[in-house]
């Protein structure tokens, strides 16, 4: 029966069907530093109970964090938090005069909406319109979706945003939240 389901629905080989449940085999995801003279912005949203937050990190081509930011967004959706996270990251990138930027997030909704291939919803679209406007300040950029495992540091920063009142920015990696520093030090630096 399982093989018939796979054949009938023409599922890709990474899907395995077991007793009416689907398992997706993921490849290991590893964060990679950007090319020379480029920076990378990893951002994420975080939600728990009624508190949402967004945050991110900007790294140079050596993988060093040059900036990080996080802030709470009460009474917003996770998609709104993700949208604010990219907008804040692009604003921060502009203030430190970045011209070549790789952008990564684990939200396909946000990535596709920034690319103009979908709509994220009216509450998010105005934020993403502002983000797309900031992209015009860059000489070149790429944007792609990554698995959550490749966005661990941005995820930890976004989660810390739930504890903030307003926006917190870090330009000194030594001042990053303890949990983020622990992720970096234990070799799980998969930003």
User: 112 and 134 in one domain?
Assistant: yes
Q: Which two tokens stand for residue 86?
A: 């990219």
With respect to residue 62, please indicate whether it lies within any of the assigned structural domains.
yes
User: 116 and 70 in one domain?
Assistant: yes
The CATH number of whichever domain residue 151 belongs to comes to 3.30.420.10
Q: Which two tokens stand for residue 55?
A: 């945050």
User: 88 and 20 in one domain?
Assistant: no
Q: How confident is the model at residue 117 (pLDDT cuts 50, 70, 90)?
A: confident
Q: At what angle do helices 122-135 and 78-95 cross, to 10 degrees?
A: 20
Residue 17 pLDDT: 44
The domain of 44 spans: 39-185
User: 134 and 61 in one domain?
Assistant: yes
- pLDDT, one tens digit per residue, over 177-187 is 888 878 777 65
Q: Are 58 and 66 in contact (CB under 8 A)?
A: yes
Q: How confident is the model at residue 142 (pLDDT cuts 50, 70, 90)?
A: very high
| pTM of the shown model | 0.80
pLDDT tops 60 at residue 27: no
What is the domain count for the chain? 2
- b/e code 72-107 from CB counts within 10 Å (16+ = b): bbeebbbbbbbbbbbbbbbebbeeeebebbbbbbbb
Q: How confident is the model at residue 19 (pLDDT cuts 50, 70, 90)?
A: very low
Q: How far is it, in rounded angstroms, from Cα 13 to Cα 77?
A: 34
């Amino acid at each position: 029966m399982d093989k018939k389901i796979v054949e009938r629905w023409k599922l890709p080989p990474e899907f395995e069907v077991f007793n009416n449940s689907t398992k997706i085999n993921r490849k290991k995801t590893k964060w990679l530093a950007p090319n020379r003279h480029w920076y990378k912005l990893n951002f994420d949203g975080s939600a728990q109970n009624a508190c949402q937050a967004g945050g991110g990190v900007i790294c140079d081509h050596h993988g060093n964090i040059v900036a990080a930011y996080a802030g709470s967004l009460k009474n917003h959706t996770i998609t709104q938090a993700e949208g604010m996270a990219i907008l804040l990251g692009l604003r921060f990138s502009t203030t430190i005069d970045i011209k070549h930027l790789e952008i990564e997030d684990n939200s396909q909704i946000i990535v596709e909406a920034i690319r103009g291939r979908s709509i994220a919803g009216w509450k998010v679209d105005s934020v993403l319109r502002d983000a797309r406007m900031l992209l015009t300040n860059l000489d070149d950029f790429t944007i792609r979706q990554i698995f959550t495992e490749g966005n661990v540091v941005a995820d930890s920063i976004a989660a810390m945003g739930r504890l903030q009142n307003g926006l917190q920015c870090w330009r000194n990696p030594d001042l990053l939240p303890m949990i983020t520093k622990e992720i970096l030090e234990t070799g799980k630096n998969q930003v």
